[in-house]
Structure 1
Amino acid sequence: MTKLSVNINKIATIRNARGANNPNVVQVALDAERFGAQGITVHPRPDERHIRYQDVLDLSEVVTTEFNIEGYPDTRFMELIKRVKPAQATLVPDPPTAITSNAGWDTITHQSFLKDVVAELQGYGTRVSIFIDPEEKYFEPAKTTGTDRVELYTEPYAVQFTKNKQEAVNPYVKAAELARSLGLGINAGHDLDLHNLKFLKENIPFLDEVSIGHALVCDALYYGLENTIQMYRRQLEI
């Protein structure tokens, strides 16, 4: 079964726009779990423009599904993981000024660095996933880092999907099969939505987890959060 982890960064963005505590990020996370989310994802950034570090601490006290913390493994991120010990830490190569994640790790160039980071995080009892492009050359080096999983960066899939969905998914199927042959778990995320998620799942039935935030929150404006989470869950129940 592929689990749905709901990224609540956009909820924090809405809250921060007014400076108060509406919507309440912690309450939304609890409600998302109650509505069927099988995990909660956050991506705290150094400028705290959406999820704040205090949010992560508050959420760690109440999240009962899989808590996934994404981020670049700088000193503050590593200290946060050490303190919270979430179910999963997803490593992304974002610079501090990035609006959103837009590329996977070059696991060849950064193999030594990632190996040290992965070992430290696993020492806290946290599963590690590395955000990665669907290019074969990055997978064996990823395996060498000791990571538990890779997360396929799916924006290129989403962009190509509207033009030719089979061509869009082919490199992801190939990459996922390679990852599986190496004994790596497989997550996926970025620009997945109600239009393209089912096709990805049909072609990669052994996906462990998808993390979805922006599209899910946008859909919730029309369908409501509970209904939207159930709609996304149904795309994965194949």
Structure 2
Amino acid sequence: MIELGVNIDHVATVRQARRTYEPDPAIAAALAEQGGADGITFHLREDRRHIQDRDVDVLMQTVTVKTNLELACEEQVLAIACRVKPDWALLVPESREEVTTEGGLDVASDSGRIAAAIERLKSHGILTSLFIDPDVRQVAAAAELGVDAVELHTGPYALAKRADVATELSRLEVAGQHASQAGMRLHAGHGLNYVNVRPVAKLPGVIELNIGHAIVSRAVMVGMKEAVSEMRRILDLCSP
């Protein structure tokens, strides 16, 4: 069965639009669990545009499925991760100007910052993953750092049109095969929705998909529990 990680960042985005107390990401996480989520993902950005420090603490106290904290290789958020000890830490690139994450980490060209962050997280018993583009060179570099998983960036696939869809899907498949052969868990995410998720879910070796914006958008119409249940049913149909 493919594991479904539900990213609740954009529940906090709605709350922060008014700088108020609702909707509460912790309540959204509980409803996502009821809908069949295998994990809850949340991104503590340096600029705190959505998830806040308090959210992290509350989520770590209340989520009963696995927790996946997205973060940049930045001292303050690394210190928070090491304090709260999520099950997984997903290292991602981060730019204050971007609307959402625009690409994967350039692990192959890293000067040691990523390696140091991985070592620090692992020393606190946290499983580590890297958000990377579906590129064999990046997969090989991630494997050399000894991470537990890679999450392939599916954004270009999600935005592709016509013939480019097959090209991007092929890139994901090739990179995924290399990740699995290197002994890493294969995760994927970014821009996946109720329609385009099916081909990605059927790729060989995919263990986990992390989906946020589409589920939160659907939840506005049908509620979080039902929105997650609908995605859960799609993934179950795609499982081998």
| TM-score, normalization by structure 1 | 0.94
- Which deviates more, 81-90 or 40-49? 40-49
Q: Secondary structure at the match of 1:208?
A: strand
Superposed CA deviations along residues 86-122 of structure 1, whole A, max 9, x for unmatched, are 0000001112333211111111111622222111101
Equivalent residue runs for 1:20-99 within 5 Å: 20-99=20-99
Q: Retained in 2: the 8 A contact 1:107–1:142?
A: yes
Amino acid at match of 1:172: L
- Which deviates more, 18-27 or 178-187? 18-27
Q: Secondary structure at the match of 2:152?
A: strand
Q: State yes or no: 1:143 paired with 2:146.
A: no
Unaligned runs of at least 5 residues, structure 2: none
Q: State yes or no: 1:208 paired with 2:207.
A: yes
Superposed CA deviations along residues 181-235 of structure 1, whole A, max 9, x for unmatched, are 111111111000001111111123x212111111111112223222211111122
Equivalent residue runs for 1:1-238 within 5 Å: 1-110=1-110, 112-160=112-160, 163-204=163-204, 206-237=205-236, 238=239
- Measure, in 2, the Cα distance between the counterparts of 1:142 and 1:202: 23
Distance 1:109 1:164, change over 3 A: closer
Amino acid at match of 2:171: P
Superposed CA deviations along residues 48-91 of structure 1, whole A, max 9, x for unmatched, are 11100111011111111111110102111111111110000000
Q: Retained in 2: the 8 A contact 1:112–1:145?
A: no
Q: Secondary structure at the match of 2:231?
A: helix
- Measure, in 1, the Cα distance between the counterparts of 2:161 and 2:223: 26
Q: Secondary structure at the match of 1:60?
A: helix
Shift in Å at residue 164 of structure 1? 4.9
Amino acid at match of 2:232: R
- Measure, in 2, the Cα distance between the counterparts of 1:226 and 1:167: 34
- Measure, in 2, the Cα distance between the counterparts of 1:159 and 1:207: 20
Question: What is the Cα-based RMSD across aligned positions, in Å?
Answer: 1.5
- Measure, in 1, the Cα distance between the counterparts of 2:17 and 2:192: 25
- Measure, in 2, the Cα distance between the counterparts of 1:167 and 1:108: 23
Shift in Å at residue 144 of structure 1? 0.9
Q: Secondary structure at the match of 2:120?
A: helix
Distance 1:44 1:170, change over 3 A: same
Superposed CA deviations along residues 146-179 of structure 1, whole A, max 9, x for unmatched, are 1111110001111125555433311100000011
- Measure, in 1, the Cα distance between the counterparts of 2:118 and 2:4: 23
Distance 1:165 1:213, change over 3 A: same
Amino acid at match of 2:138: Y
